[in-house]
Amino acid sequence: MSIFLYLAAALSADPGFLALQAMDNRVMTIGYRLASRNVAHCPNAVPNSGVSFHSLGQYGPEERSRVARTFGQGAGPRVMAVAKNSPAEKAGLLPNDLILAAGDARLGEALTPKPTMDAVLRVRKAFAAGLAQGPLSVRVKRGSAEKELMIPRHPACPSTIELFPSSKREAAADGNMLQISSAMVEQTQSDDELAFILAHEMAHNILQHPARLDRIGRKKANILATEIEADKLAVRLMADAGYDPFAAARFWARYGRGPKHGILSDGTHMRSKDRVELLLTEAGKIEAGKIVRPTAQ
């Protein structure tokens, strides 16, 4: 390799990481739109800035030079994606900004050989704690410049969204967090279809299904009941956020025919045909105006 080609390769961004960042931007934008336009469904709404983070320290040491080349030099929490129309976007926060401080919290990271999410968890906590008080002042490093930005306080349904790279098709909700794998995102053919998967998991969190199942046990019938409730609410969340509610049935009619459905169908879920029928019925009710939609706040 000539020295020129060697330098070009050493300086260039990693296409895999860039693709993941673009995907995260899409996931965050759809997730934020669902969460912010459905506060009427969420008695436990909390301020949401619409930003996702990562940090150099969460990657293995062998990946860190590629990560730094792609996103910027320096350890510490960094903006991965900013949802469209979110408070973070309004404040002027940009992907790849390095977060130096949020409110009273000074942020940074001491790199250790073992990957850790500590810096990401700390910045999420600082954002949540700061926004609970009011607008949040954030100091960022962009290139060599430092900037002070003010993030407005805006309530949304509680759901911290995490996209993770994986060849397994997975989506899950734990009561607060909503996780989706890159392979699952790739199964969707439109933003409306992706909105269905995110809305289904968000519905599990809004309805506090993980806590309920902890209480009553994870018998097949109990899980099935929560799945039906989550599907019904998901279609309404989609419609109230301006997505096509029929995309849910459309997605499932295609995806449900596949050989493996991953976590969305582990024997505790409805048979595909019944599920498509349920999703169609719910979308039909909304379209016919039979369901009275709560007014957005």
Contacting positions for Zn ion (CB under 5 A): 227, 230
Nearer to Zn ion, 78 or 232 (CB): 232
Residues 6 or more apart whose CB falls under 8 angstroms from that of 167 comprise 183
**In the complex, least distance from residue 227 CB atom to Zn ion, rounded to whole angstroms:** 5
Handedness of CA 87, 198, 201, 235 (dihedral sign): positive
Task: Supply 107's token pair.
Answer: 């942020």
Per-residue tokens: 99: 């977060």
Q: Which is nearer to Zn ion, 193 or 227 (CB)?
A: 227
Helices (H), the chain: 3-11, 15-37, 64-71, 87-91, 118-133, 182-186, 191-206, 209-216, 220-240, 247-255, 272-287
Beta carbons within 8 Å of 95's beta carbon, 6+ residues apart? 21, 25, 79, 80, 81, 82
Distance, CA of 170 to CA of 29 (rounded, Å): 19
**How many other CB atoms are found less than 10 A from the CB of residue 85?**
12
Classified as helix, coil or strand, 219 is coil
Nearer to Zn ion (CB atom), residue 162 or residue 227: 227
Give the residue with the Cβ less far from Zn ion, 78 or 236. Answer: 236
Q: How far is the CB of 283 from Zn ion (least distance, A)?
A: 18
Helix (H, G, I), strand (E, B) or coil at 151: strand
- Minimal distance, residue 209 CB to Zn ion, in Å: 8
**Residue number with CB closer to Zn ion (227 or 240):** 227
Closer residue to Zn ion in complex, CB, 131/230: 230
3-state percent breakdown (helix, strand, coil) of the chain, nearest 5: 50, 15, 35
Q: How far is the CB of 273 from Zn ion (least distance, A)?
A: 18
CA 163 to CA 186: how far, in whole Å? 12
Instruction: State the minimum distance, in angstroms, from the CB of residue 200 to Zn ion.
Output: 6
Least distance from C-beta 277 to Zn ion, angstroms?
Answer: 17
User: Minimum CB separation from Zn ion for residue 280, in Å?
Assistant: 18
Which CB atom, from 97 or from 282, has the smaller least distance to Zn ion?
Answer: 282
